[in-house]
Chains A and B, each alone.
Chain A
Amino acid sequence: MISEPIPELDSLDPAESRRGRLSRPDLRPALGWVLPPLIALLLLAVAVEVWVRLGDVSIWLMPRPTAVIENFFVDFGRYFNEGLKTLAVSMGGLAIGTAAATLLAAGVAHSNILERAVLPIAIMVKVTPVVALIPLFIIWLGHGWNPKIAIAALITYFPVLINAIAGFRDIDPRMHDFFRSVDASTWEIFQHLRLPAAIPYLFASLKISVTLSLIGAVVAEFFLSGQGGLGAVIWIEQNNLRLEQVFAAVLMLTVLGVTLSTAVVVAERLFSWRLDQPVTAS
């Protein structure tokens, strides 16, 4: 007969958990995570610097970290512009790979026959190192951006496919029963049940595939060094034995990777309804 919820009876105090959900994160613990690796990195750089200087290591083998950083900032415009090209390739590939994988997963989630037909092929592609296909892609797609984007797309699609299938299927059967009991259409079930259920899985797979797309882009740029990109810079500069430039380009790739991974985490916090989704496949 009690119609008003009573906090003492309802074990959980909703007001409390609501405050917890909406509060902005405190930045102090974040510093505790950021500072130790930064200090470790700094110590490592100092050690290398001392080793190169005191050990009289040849400049053809290992540049001084300070020289790398100096070159990075002096020539920042170059690394930034080449970085943008690499970013364009990896993001183009990620977009195409993710879209294709999500669409295919939506089909597979609805059809066992499609699953049996598609999954073995998808796994075959997965276990094949796709960078081995770059020479073929160059023959088929020419020397422009297309083969690079194709490789980045191919390398990203698998984790998205597997996670999206798992996500589209991770629905409460009772919930599905409720949808059926009001004669909801297949599209309504997809739109209001399967797709939202898959969002945390899609973010989990994006965390993997965003760095994979960078790998695909860089390796493709090794082969197609004529059109630039950080991979091309690394390839050309190592031929010239200019290791400072090679390391500066790698440093730019690290910056790109950290930025992209952080962007995915931020987007997940903004758009996902659940943040503890375990990764299904890598």
Chain B
Amino acid sequence: MHLPAILPWGAADGFSKQMLLVILSVVIIATFFVLAARKQQLVPGKLQFAGEAAYGFVRNSIAKDIIGGRDFIKYVPLLFSLFFFILVNNIYGAIPLIQLPSFSHVGGAYVLAAIVYVTWIGIGIKKNGLRYFKLATVPSGVPVYILPIVIPIEIISNFLVRPVTHSLRLFATMLAGHLIVMIAGSGIEYLVMQENVLLKGTSVLVLAGAIAMYMLEALIMALQAYVFTLLTAIYIEGALHADSH
């Protein structure tokens, strides 16, 4: 499923187009936000306003609303970096000629999910000590005789399934969207080459469907960045307030 590398050309393992795009995304995001934040004017210009709106979205709509409290600001950098890193790498899939969402390769999704996994477990232990694992796996208010069933479920769902779904959700939606658009493209190409005029005409229907799917994919690309970041905030909040859940 991996594209051949661009350096050395065509090799199975090497510097791939996807790696180039990941590095490019870091440059794009860092450049944009450093330029937007640099002026620090009380009455913002257009660039600063755009930067502040984007930053304010993650800061207020995700970090503040989900984590809340006074120290939500500590987690804003992580959520902000995650959101825009995933967003830009996803949107690549909607840009003609680039047409490759970076997370349609599973490696990046694993890395980000692992970073989040380590982070929220670390926060939970720092906040509650080793008692955190008891708090996270033994729900309060459950009758004792059900606990033998509930505890394994909680362990599996919180500590095993959670990072897997977190990473695969992102990866799978990106891969599926990428495949659908790609298949629609080859389908149109195949139909257009047919001798039969009626069969050739059906390519218009596929084109209409492909455009609709393209729009849907663009939506999902933005949505998945939001979902990934939102889940991260929810996991961090759960670790911070494990004793009240």
Chains A and B form a bound pair: no
